[in-house]
Structure 1
């Protein structure tokens, strides 16, 4: 169901995924104490990866930017929402490139691999985002490096959940979304 064209259907699905991502963060959010930022466990990352897989890199990234970035803007994370949006772009590039290398073959091993790759990418990007956040509030570089590393537990949990949730939901939704597209 990869859609890279600007058809009405692509716009509707992009908006639908953006709303689902926003709701996925809003409904289930478990705060985790950290030295940098205010991290929490949520399903937004997994839903963003699903949007990328189903809609393609551009529209999936757009859905993630709207969903995750919109959540940040409306829930007290506005100062760093631009970093979240950059993370979405990096994850979209990595996942879409991986899917392209798999020739868009969505057999289980490929989707599981892409879920794991997305989770690992998110760990790396979040580490760098945490460094920038720490530097934005005036922390020294060395302290920012250490505190950002010590603040990764929520991201690791989110990444593990992404690796698990993406294949499960992908195969649960694949048939339904293909049927809707044909209708």
Structure 2
């Protein structure tokens, strides 16, 4: 029975973080029109990374992927939804792998260690996104959506800039949020040993 209780808590937290991913993208964004397409500065990635730090790669990745995909489906980014699901899931898996499988972040460590691992794991997930988002976007637009190569190339270049800015914001904000939430969640008995 205790395992089922833990799974329900984790599912509830994943649902909450998916909702925060949705809100971070759908409501806290600045759209940048680029020809027939759009790109955006947004806060959705902050919560994708935070979800993986709090819940681990699998649950955190799913929370980020589901929340951000729903945000795409309910805004002008509907054609990007499949790409978003894949990339956000990968962000979560990478952050979770680095934070919890390699450095065992959920165990007891010094504040300095926790801070360093939090920033490193966040940076690894977002570094993947800075490379993968424009690259996958280029092929996705060109081969699946039929956007001409020169336009796909220009969109990928612009996407690199916005993705880079989003990555820096995500690493900083997710790290600050995680470091603030960790002691509170431990005290409340809601912190997961991953």
TM-score (norm 1): 0.86
SS of the aligned residue for 1:39 comes to: strand
Cα distance between partner residues in 1 of 2:22 and 2:54: 17
1:165 aligns with 2:166: no
- Separation (CA, whole Å) in 2 of partners of 1:148 and 1:68: 20
Q: Distance in 1 between matches of 2:65 and 2:27?
A: 18
Give 5+ residue unaligned stretches, structure 2: none
Compared with structure 1, are the counterparts of its residues 21 and 103 closer, same or farther at alpha carbon in structure 2 (3 Å cutoff)? same
In structure 1, how many angstroms separate the alpha carbons of the residues matched to 2:58 and 2:129?
18
Task: Sort the Cα spacing of 1:147 and 1:72 in 2 relative to 1 into closer, same or farther, 3 A.
Answer: closer
> Structure 1 residues 25 and 142 mapped into 2: Cα distance closer, same or farther (>3 Å)?
closer
Structure 1 unaligned blocks of 5 or more: none
Ranked by relative contact order (alpha carbons within 8 Å, sequence separation 6 or more), the top structure is: 1
Asked whether the equivalents of residues 56 and 96 of structure 1 are also in contact (C-alpha less than 8 Å), the reply is: yes
Give the number of aligned pairs: 180
Q: Which residue of 1 aligns with 2:158?
A: 150
Runs of 4+ deviating beyond 6 Å: none
2:17 aligns with: 17
Q: Please report the TM-score for the alignment, with normalisation by the length of structure 2.
A: 0.82
Instruction: Kindly report the root-mean-square deviation, in angstroms, between the aligned alpha carbons of the 2 structures.
Output: 2.4
Tell me, yes or no, if the aligned pair for 2:28 and 2:43 is still in contact at 8 Å.
Answer: yes
Q: Partner of 1:50: helix, strand, or coil?
A: helix
Correspondence for 1:174 among 182, 186, 190: 182
Contact kept? 1:36, 1:134, Cα under 8 Å: no
